[in-house]
Amino acid sequence: MVWFNLKINNWNLKYTGLNPIEKEFENCDKDGNVLKKVTGKFEKGFFLNEKSGEKHIKSLKLINGKPFDKLQKTKEIKVFKEVDLREIEDLLQEKVYLCECDGLLEDLNNSGKALKFGFTNGNGFKVFKAYLLPSKIYRGYLFMVLGTTQISELIREIDGIKQQKKKIDEISLTIQGIDRCQVEDLIQI
C-alpha cells in the first residue's frame, strides 16, 4: 500500500488507492502439465513444457488442479441470491452498467433488496460478483455493479500492515535505548 499526502484546509490526510485483488492461474496444457510462457522477440511467443520440451501455441489455465479453457460471456443466470442493499457498499466497484427491465426494477423496488450472482464478460478468467439494484439517486433506473474484491478484505490487509509497522516501531525504540558498542571496547591498544 502506498500512502499519499493531501492537505484540505487545516486537515492533513493520507490516502491510498484500493485496488482489486487479482487472481493468477498457472498456464497448462490439456493434461494439466504446467507451461512456461516464452515471449517472442522476432517470432511469435509460445508456451513451453519445461519437463518434456514440448511447445504449445495455446494454453489453458490450471484451476483447482484441473485445466480449463476461457470462460464464455454470461448470458443467462440461474443461480442468484436476494441480498440486503447494504452488502453492495462492501464491494470494490470495478464496473457499473445501466440495465433495462421494468418488471425486475419494480420487484426490487418493492422488496428493497438487490440480486447477487456470478458474472463474466467472457474471453478470459475474470469472474465478478455482480449486484443488480435499483438506483437510489436516479429513480426508475436499474444498475448492475461488478467487482472482484470486498473492501473489508483490503481493510484487514491494511490493518495487518499497520500492526506490523507498530511492532517494528516498538523494536526500533527498544534498540535505540541500548548503548552501541565502541571500537575501544572491542580492541585494547
Give 129 or 170, the one with higher predicted confidence: 129
Question: Per-residue confidence at 90, pLDDT binned at 50, 70, 90?
Answer: very high
Cα dist from 91 to 19, 22, 131, 152, 166, whole Å: 11, 15, 9, 8, 28
Q: How far apart are the C-alpha atoms of 137 and 128, rounded to whole Å?
A: 24
Quote the pLDDT of residue 176: 63
Ordered DSSP codes for 122-149: SSBS--EEEEEEE-SSSTT-EEEEEES-
What number is the average pLDDT over the span 113-138? 92
Q: How far apart are the C-alpha atoms of 38 and 163, rounded to whole Å?
A: 40
Q: How far apart are the C-alpha atoms of 149 and 126, rounded to whole Å?
A: 12
Quote the pLDDT of residue 89: 94
| CB contact at 8 A, 105 and 59 | no
Nearest in space to 134 (alpha carbons), one of 112, 159, 163, 158: 112
Quote the pLDDT of residue 6: 92
| pLDDT tens-digit map of 91-105 | 999 999 999 999 999
130 strand-pairing partners? 117, 146
| CB contact at 8 A, 81 and 117 | yes
Q: Is the pLDDT of residue 180 over 70?
A: no
| pLDDT tens-digit map of 141-162 | 999 999 999 999 999 988 988 8
Quote the pLDDT of residue 91: 95
Of 14-23, 47-56, 165-174, the least confident: 165-174
| CB contact at 8 A, 113 and 83 | yes
Quote the pLDDT of residue 171: 75
Q: Is the pLDDT of residue 182 over 90?
A: no
| pLDDT tens-digit map of 31-43 | 899 999 988 777 7
Question: Per-residue confidence at 74, pLDDT binned at 50, 70, 90?
Answer: very high
pTM of the model: 0.74
- Domains of the chain, by residue range, sit at 4-68, 81-147
